[in-house]
Chains A and B, each alone.
Chain A
Amino acid sequence: MRNSVAVHPTDIPSQPKSNRNSPALAIADSTSKRIGAFFEWFGNLGIFFWQVLCAAVTPPYEWRELIRQLDEIGSKSLPLVALAGAAIGVVVSLEARYTLSRFGAKSLFPSSLVYSVIEVMGPIITGLVVSGRVGAGIGAELASMKVTEQIDAIEASAINPYRLLAATRILACIVMLPLLTVAADICALLTGWFAQAMVEPLAFRQFIENGFHGATFNAFLPPTFKTSVYGLIIGLIACFQGMRTTGGAEGVGRAATNSVVLASLFLILADVVLVKFILVVFP
């Protein structure tokens, strides 16, 4: 029989006895591990992003899959985004009317609604809604593929999974978020006008003319296109969480949840930076 060497669990060095029961050291140890895991997560995310980027810019390109994802992420999210936009339009309209009335500035209602929706509410609401629907969907789909070895099968077939699965989804998110934001804005303005018109008659044409009076490129286009960054965040985090899942069904659930939570969190944090950036670069 050939010699065999195996490492047994008892061979692994154990912690010195004197440290085991110290609560302070245990807390310090736990904290340091959490901090390490935090930075490790960002490091792995950066490596993943680089792998996806390299795969995305090298042929052969997965055009068919990209088109499929544009449909999946874009057109299938449209009803939900439109509904969310419509609801926000009513809410902002009611609140704006009440607030402006208190300060005797009802005439500013159209422009306040337009600017509120297009610059702030439309992008963030679209981002959060898409983060929930698309982020969870991508995270769960890729996680399910990971735990059932489908991603390994793709790789074993000499097809780059970063190009086929991740790059297409991330690019689709980047392209579709601004378009979905425009749809949400339109629905919000329509329902916002309607909510106002139900209380105080206001012609739609007058509403639009007053609302967009003095509008410039800087006012509307940068806030809409910043949602491409939201799309990058949603797609990247969802694909990252999905493609490195372990642990069966529990892992799939965790990937879906983490995709939504982390994408939403980073989206909101990114908005802080992007708003400041837009105010500085596009005054």
Chain B
Amino acid sequence: MTASPDTRMKTEGIDKEGRVAAIAVENLRKSFDALMVLNGITLRVEQGETLAVLGRSGTGKSVLLRLIIGLVQPDSGSIQIQGQSLSGLSVDELGVLRKKMGFLFQHAALYDSLTVAENVAFPLAHHRREMAKSERSDRVERLLAEVGMETSLDKMPSEISGGMQKRVGLARALALQPEILLLDEPTAGLDPISSREIDDLILKLQAEHHMASIVVTHDLFSAKTISNRLALLDQGNVVIEGTFEDLQQSDISFVSEFLQHP
């Protein structure tokens, strides 16, 4: 018995207009021992769109990103990246998809034994081996200039601030010119001025690179600034999904409470 067109569209991340979503998450579930973290999440992000995922601490926002990049396996549900399911992929096949994605970790996760320039060059050195050293250096310098870190090439991660580490992490995430960008709490732990600088940077990069992005954050102002749509999670479910105005007009008590006390 063949699947209905609607079911086939859902499993392949195709909408009714026939567009393939950059990221399509369908009924995703994940538990850690007895703790249910995600309880049937369904989300969709188109190319060029930024979705902000909001929620209280511990509601599975970061786990969602880790599931999408394949660092964690879901208990059930499907994840499609540009129409291709992550389920059952070999290590090499998953690697092909991962090269299309850039990931900014919450604390940047820079390699502390490498300089700033070496950190950004790391993905290039491994995946663009045919690239000449001079060409790689030029690309690294351009990437760091994009994020405002062009004067810190030879510094070690321990010698730069948290905000600077986030910038370098962003440059590294962009090294392979990804089509999808996943950002885990990009402004967490930063002062308000640095947070706004990161927001402006993300907006600039979005305008230039037209990526599909998911930004996990509990910073409501940042989410409002950089995203096209927002999704609010609570107890493993998407409570509401829409624009900031949709959230403001919602009569769901949790949403109102979150907007007042994020």
Contacts and interface: CB of A to CB of B under 8 A. Distances in A.
B109 A157 contact: no
A6 B99 contact: no
A147 to B, nearest CB: 10
B111 A153 contact: yes
Nearest to B99: A158
B236 A153 contact: no
Contacts of A95: none
Contacts of A7: 31, 34-36
A160 interface: yes
Contact of A4 (B34, B69, B237): B237
A5 B36 CA distance: 8
Interface residues of B, number: 36
Main secondary structure of the interface of B (DSSP, over half): mixed
A149 interface: yes
A7 B95 CA distance: 34
A15 to B, nearest CB: 15
B136 interface: no
A3 interface: yes
B105 A6 contact: no
Interface string B80-111: 00000000000100111011010101110111
Nearest to B250: A1
Interface stretch (B20-28, B120-128, B143-151, B195-203): B120-128
B34 A152 contact: no
A172 B112 CA distance: 21
Contacts of B35: 7
Contact of A159 (B69, B112, B126, B237): B126
B96 to A, nearest CB: 8
A73 B126 CA distance: 23
Centre residue among A148, A156, A159, A160 by max chain B CB count within 10 A: A156
Nearest to B251: A1
B39 interface: yes
Contacts of A157: 98, 122-123, 126-127
B39 A4 contact: yes
Interface in A4-45: 4-7, 9, 11-12
B111 A156 contact: no
B103 A156 contact: yes
B103 A153 contact: yes
A52 to B, nearest CB: 13
Contacts of A148: 107, 109, 112
Interface string A138-174: 0000001100111011111111100000000000000
B193 interface: no
A9 B254 CA distance: 23
Contact of B109 (A4, A9, A12, A150): A150
Contact of B237 (A2, A149, A154, A160): A2
Given A6-B36, A7-B35, A152 B235 contact: no
A60 B238 CA distance: 41
A4 B126 contact: no
B34 to A, nearest CB: 5
A152 B239 contact: no
A149 B165 CA distance: 14
B234 interface: yes
Contacts of B235: 4-6
A7 B235 CA distance: 10
B105 A152 contact: yes
Contacts of B129: 60
Contacts of B71: 152, 155-156
Contacts of B252: 1
Contacts of B107: 148-149
Contacts of A4: 39, 234-237
Contacts of A158: 94-96, 98-99, 123, 127
Interface in A172-213: none
14 contacts: A4-B39, A4-B235, A7-B35, A9-B34, A11-B34, A60-B126, A148-B107, A148-B109, A148-B112, A152-B66, A152-B71, A153-B111, A158-B94, A158-B99
**What 5 A-B pairs have minimum CB-CB distances, sorted nearest first?**
A158-B98, A158-B95, A149-B109, A153-B109, A4-B235
Interface of B: 31, 34-36, 39, 66, 69, 71, 91, 94-96, 98-99, 101, 103, 105-107, 109-112, 122-123, 126-127, 129, 234-239, 252, 254
Given A9-B34, A145-B111, A148-B109, 20 more contacts: A4-B234, A4-B237, A5-B39, A6-B36, A7-B34, A12-B34, A144-B112, A149-B105, A149-B107, A150-B109, A152-B66, A152-B105, A156-B103, A157-B122, A157-B123, A158-B99, A158-B123, A158-B127, A159-B123, A160-B91
Interface of A: 1-7, 9, 11-12, 60, 144-145, 148-150, 152-160
